[in-house]
Amino acid sequence: MTPPKKTTIPHQDGPWQYGEETKAVHAGAQPDPVTGARNTPIYQTTSYVFDDVDHAADLFNLQSFGFIYSRLTNPTVAVLEERMASLENGRASVCAASGHAAQFLTFFSLLDPGDHFIASRNLYGGSITQFGISFKRLGWNCTFVDPSDPENFRTAVTAKTKAIFIEVLANPGGIILDLEAISQVAQDVHVPLIVDNTLATPYLLKPMEWGADLVVHSTTKFLSGHGTSMGGVVIESGKFDWAADDRFPTMTQPDPAYHGLTFYETFGDFGFTMKARAVGLRDFGPSMSPANAFYTLTAIESLPARMDRHVKNALTVAEFLQSHRKVKRVSYAGLSSSPYNDLAKKYLPKGAGAVFSCELKGGFDAGVKLVESVNLFSHLANVGDTRSLILHPASTTHRQLSDDQRDAAGAGASVIRLSIGQETAEDLIHDLDEGLSKV
Ligand SMILES: *Cc1c(COP(=O)(O)O)cnc(C)c1O
């Protein structure tokens, strides 16, 4: 295992703070010390040679840092981990095979069977299933609350509560939560606040600046950015005091798998990351592949430029749809007509992301007709691609639900979800206009 560095841009010294764009290109990376290769190589290797038996023993006991086996650490993945920690202003991070794998590692590192956490009910659909059904089988109980009133989180706290989980920019309804207020509740009740920052990316929002303790991402979306690579990451701020009470034995009690080592005491402000890696990745194995880390690193170099274009296009398309006679409502927090526009200005001043929904006049058939009539938009279940994407939730992702459940999830019969890409905005508008003419 490698210790997370505090300074993530090589040769950075002195008080100068590099900007976002510079960190996106450089953080964590340096020319290969052996070959001079300027780009980060794909270390396509499963394992690493030990100097001798003592060196191997030290590595296995977590008494010294280094590489053992790529289920735990890999040099290409390590560069991405350092870059993500830097971009989120966190202390350290651990990558995983997907966003859901990162969420699993996060909760596995915090919860024992019988424990409880509270989640916003406005989440990515897959997270609702993961938390509500699969986690339950592990004895991890989740209460979903309406996040529009931050006090709902406080009311749901029990003696067993170990975390609060939210998406600030929530998929897909253009909803923005009051991060600062929810963060205050988490602090008052002393549980870590976990933010899924996938749809905002660290370029638009840095949850840790508002008090988040852990940030998770599906790097599959805007971070890898081109629809090429699955991945996830969890970043820790290093600021949560796991020993303030006896509620986090996973962090503060001796770990039998490491000769009684205590993660928080031994590793301090990166103890959570070490726990997630040395126990979670070791025993469950959802590691990110070095090739996917490479694609994601390359894509992050253009993240700031891409996100600027994504949000500019999204606003242009949202304004067009809002004025279209066949559209009933557009739910995009970047529009001044949105009830979330003030929160968007506060938390997402560079733009309210590029994923939103709109409701057509007409029912189920109108939605089906539009997704089948567009050409430039791809009809598929993903977001955060360079390409523009379109989905009719009622006929796909939300098909199994009742009408009431669909409405509650913001996925009513004629709701369309859009993820706006990098194309020429006029072309996107033309495509939607042609499609709507057939509805
Ligand atoms: C896609 C997504 C996830 C799950 O990530 P995977 O990489 O698909 O496992 C979690 N949260 C949000 C907001 C997402 O969009």
For the CA of 101, the nearest atom of ligand 1: 9
Measure 36 CA to ligand 1 centroid, in angstroms.
36
- With a cut of 90, say whether residue 9 has pLDDT above it: no
pLDDT at 12 > cutoff 80: no
Alpha carbon of 231 to ligand 1 centroid (Å): 9
Averaged confidence pLDDT in the chain: 94
Could you state, in order of their start, the residue ranges of all structural domains in the chain?
Answer: 20-299, 304-436
Please check the confidence at residue 233 and state whether its pLDDT lies above 90.
Answer: yes
**161 Cβ inside 6 Å of ligand 1:** no
Task: For residues 335-351, give the mean pLDDT.
Answer: 97
224 in contact with ligand 1, CB cutoff 6 A: no
| Closest residue to atom 4 of ligand 1, CA basis | 99
Residue 405 pLDDT: 74
Task: Look at ligand 1, atom 11, and give the residue with the nearest C-alpha.
Answer: 124
- For position 15, what pLDDT does the model report? 78
What are the tens digits of pLDDT across the range 55-107? 898 888 888 888 999 999 999 999 999 999 999 999 999 999 999 999 999 99
Cα(407) to centroid(ligand 1), Å: 21
Q: Where are the beta strands (DSSP E) in 73-171?
A: 92-96, 116-120, 141-145, 161-166, 169-170
User: 19 alpha carbon to ligand 1 midpoint, in Å?
Assistant: 27
Q: In this predicted model, what pLDDT tens digit does every residue of 235-245 receive, in sequence order?
A: 999 999 999 99
Q: Given the CA of residue 103, which atom of ligand 1 is nearest to it?
A: 10
**Assigned CATH topology for domain 304-436:** Aspartate Aminotransferase, domain 1 (3.90.1150)
pLDDT band at 263 (very low <50, low <70, confident <90, very high): very high
Residue 289, ligand 1, Cβ within 6 A: no
> What pLDDT sits at residue 10?
66
Torsion over CA: 423, 426, 430, 436 (sign): positive
> Cα separation of 157 and 191, whole Å?
10
**Quick one: average pLDDT of 397-413?**
79
**CB distance 385 to ligand 1 below 6 Å:** no
Across residues 213-240, what is the average pLDDT? 97
Q: Is the pLDDT of residue 1 over 70?
A: no
In short, whether 165's Cβ falls inside 6 Å of ligand 1 is: no
pLDDT at 11 over 90: no
Pinpoint the alpha helices (H) of 333-383: 341-347, 364-373
**Spatial strand order in the sheet of 92-96:** 92-96, 232-236, 214-218, 193-196, 161-166, 116-120, 141-145
In this structure, CATH architecture of domain 20-299: 3-Layer(aba) Sandwich (3.40)
Average pLDDT over residues 409-424: 92
Residue 429: its H or E element: helix 425-437
CA terminus-to-terminus distance, the chain = 57
pLDDT at 2: 64
Model pTM?
Answer: 0.96
Task: Tell me which DSSP letter residue 374 carries.
Answer: -
pLDDT at 125 over 90: no
Confidence band of 7 (pLDDT split at 50, 70, 90): low
**DSSP, residue by residue, 257-325:** GGTTB-HHHHHGGGHHHHHIIIIIIHHH--PPPHHHHHHHHHHHTTHHHHHHHHHHHHHHHHHHHHT-T
Dump pLDDT digits (tens) for 140-151.
999 999 999 999
> Does 172 sit in the ligand 1 pocket, CB within 6 Å?
no
Q: How many CB atoms lie within 10 A of CB 317?
A: 23
What is the per-residue pLDDT across 169-212, written as a single tens digit (0 to 9) for each?
997 778 999 999 999 999 999 999 999 999 999 999 999 999 99
Q: Residue 217 Cα, ligand 1 centroid: separation in angstroms?
A: 7
Q: Is the pLDDT of residue 396 over 90?
A: no
* CA of 89 relative to ligand 1 center, distance in Å: 21
- pLDDT > 90: percent of the chain: 84
pLDDT band at 345 (very low <50, low <70, confident <90, very high): very high
Distance 122 CA to ligand 1 centre (A): 13
